[in-house]
Structure 1
Amino acid sequence: MSDTVIRVENLSKKYVIAHQGQVANNYKTFRGAMTNAAKYLITNLMPHNNKEANLKSQEEFWALKDVSFEIKQGERVGIIGRNGAGKSTLLKILSRITEPTKGTIRIKGRVASLLEVGTGFHPELTGRENIFLNGAILGMSKVEIQRKFDEIAAFAEIEKFLDTPVKRYSSGMYVRLAFAVAAHLEPEILIVDEVLAVGDAQFQKKCLGKMEDVGKQGRTVLFVSHNMATINMLCQRAVWLVNGCVQIDGETEYVTSEYLTYGVKHEGEVIINSSNTNQKFYFKRIILFNQQGNKTSLFSVREPIKIYLEYHAIKFIEALEISLKVTNYFGITVFTSHRSSYISSKVGVGNHVLEIEIPALFLVPGTYYITISAHIPNVEFICRNESILTFEIEETGSYMAIYKGSNYGVVFSNLTWKENCLIVDK
């Protein structure tokens, strides 16, 4: 394998999805058992044809299809793709959590994974006990773990809670300890999903710095994120998945650029596929209009942009939050706007259309991407359509036009300046 530490060849993973109506045998509650028994009885009372159709109401879903790539020792590789592309499935297979359906994987070295909050921790054990447990799982001796123990505790910033059972930890504490353990117990390969989003900004920055250090020490890092700015900053290479297949594998900036412009609709409108709709809500389409009322994705810096967002509520929703996020070419979030800031969070059954206006002389010339999402805060994530629509703003005579080509920020800031003012020092 020379300096290749991960080799994936024709990897595929199939799941069988049982649809509503199929008789299942995995209920573990009394209510579930009663429901299952009733379904079984009804199925057996059905005519033969209906019974067969009901039992066959299942579908094959290929989360990964013929995925192949190699990763060298010391590489920092970003795995990117939209929701459902197969990123998490790939990481679970590489972490030996899930078995592949077809294909082969060869891994050289110890693997430490951080895929979900609490993965690998025993809730009844203390933080201290879990550090030793994880180290033992990685094949480290007690002496090796003790040598790293103080460094792990300091990095996680939970010294006061080391002897508290981790089931009482907040999600942020869980993530801090889990990352500290995974990164400091010297695995040859570190695999991190976007679980770091749970942590605060300062800790995320510290984690990214640590992952960069791990790579410089000759160890390998695989990192999944939806934040292209983070991927560009941390990773030398990116693998982009689309519907379970490798779309592009190459230099990070090229891959992230192609990813952000993938499926772009230049006419200024996207009809959103609602085949996999949530049972409460789904987006239908998004349209951009210029000052003249024309549908377009190209705007003058001196004109406002009108965004119309159409969606459908299947049920009455008490506290729905709809968000619109705009990111620039480099994956940096410029702003996020929330529906509840202007309209009641109660949404009635039926079709709705929102109008959002981005003012003139606000966004600097460049390419931008719109992400829309819906959720019930702290209760339920409903859906997200990432970078679903792109638009461009052209320089047509702003007050910064003389600096064309210069990097003067992401928004215009026409601030008030005064001269010869008296300073009153209190």
Structure 2
Amino acid sequence: MYLRSSFILAALFATTACPPSSGTTTDDPVTTETTDEPGTAGEPTTDPTTTGPANTAPTAPVVAITPASPTPVDDLICSVTTESSDPDGDAVTYTFAWTRDGVDAGLASGTVPATELAVGQAWECTVTPSDGVDEGLSGTAKVTIGSTPVVAETCAEIKANQPGATDGDYTLYIGKDPNKPWMARCKDMDAAPVEYLPLVHVQEGRNFSQYTAGASSPGTDVRTRFTHLRIDPVTLLVDIDDVTFSSSTGELMHGDGAVTSMPYAVAEGCSGTENGVANIDLVGTPFKLKESFCSAGFEALGGAVLGMSDQVADLTGGGSCGWTGPTKDNGCVDNPQNKSSGFVLDLEYIDPYDQACQAVCDSALACDIFPDLATCMADCLGVKTGAPECDAAITVTHHCVAMQDCDDLTKTLYDQMFGDCSDERMAEDVVCM
């Protein structure tokens, strides 16, 4: 649906003839004399020794300063967005003047360099028009200098910019790229800050590692469930041994040592079978798995099955004893239950377009528009052409799923989303538009 608006601009100009002075007739040329000094804004004037029509000053211009929300790293640029007009048809020129906190800044150009700015200052630009005879009314614009947004890569940078920052969730940026944000849990902000990745799917059966008891490992199954992962924000490596944000159940013996918790992304067993299990689920975060997994140990069994655009992995492991886990130094982690592996699980930041597709597909699946997530993601990424119509189709579908009852969303919506992206029918035909 399109909204159309019409705007009518009208300018009214009025000229008032001066009454004839004494000693003249109505047929004589008009000579204007005024007690006001020449140059008064908006007042018609002439040289009293000459004759001719009165001069009218130009109208006030409309002025703007860019950027509208400046910081100390921005130059201020004052420009005329709506030109002055001169009723007499004279050419109009402009003069610029700036004040800083109400005091003349001594600048007569349209630009203030960033070196002149400081947080909290109020800058005003005044632009005065002239037709060569008279100055017209001025146009003005004002801005206040704000603080520079912090684009932090680490929690330590957050602390440096906000000394009073406490433990909590903060937005960090991969490589300080404003287009690559992610939400981090910053911990130990009062000492040496460290970063954790909050996980979205933390229900039973998701994001856990298990060492299954039996045979050479007597006891009860040790299962550790994770809600956050310790991550290096620069390398994007996960410390699988960090169990700060986790909970564990069970206890078993591995040789002479007791095991009460397990590292992340490890499935282990010691019964000669493939009975160790684990799950990795990064869905809902802007990260995916970058590496493959391997199995090691005595008579090692098991492997890893990746899915959902490499954001999910189901692991099995076992043997006598054996495990499946991340690679390390071109090999496998060694005896991971000893917590000596460290930063070994390699993640990768997901392309923003992929993230958009995931959001759409999560909603679309709830309405049975797609047979499964993998199909939706494959089709969504298949139209990654940059064509505005395709981008609009994805946006429209997202909003439709959010706005409409699922019963009203049929497979037609699927066809509209991934059909012919060369026209606008996706936007025109979708019911919720």
Normalising by the smaller structure, the TM-score range is under 0.3
Please give the TM-score of this superposition, normalised by the length of structure 1: 0.20
Please give the TM-score of this superposition, normalised by the length of structure 2: 0.19
> Which of the two has higher C-alpha Rg?
2
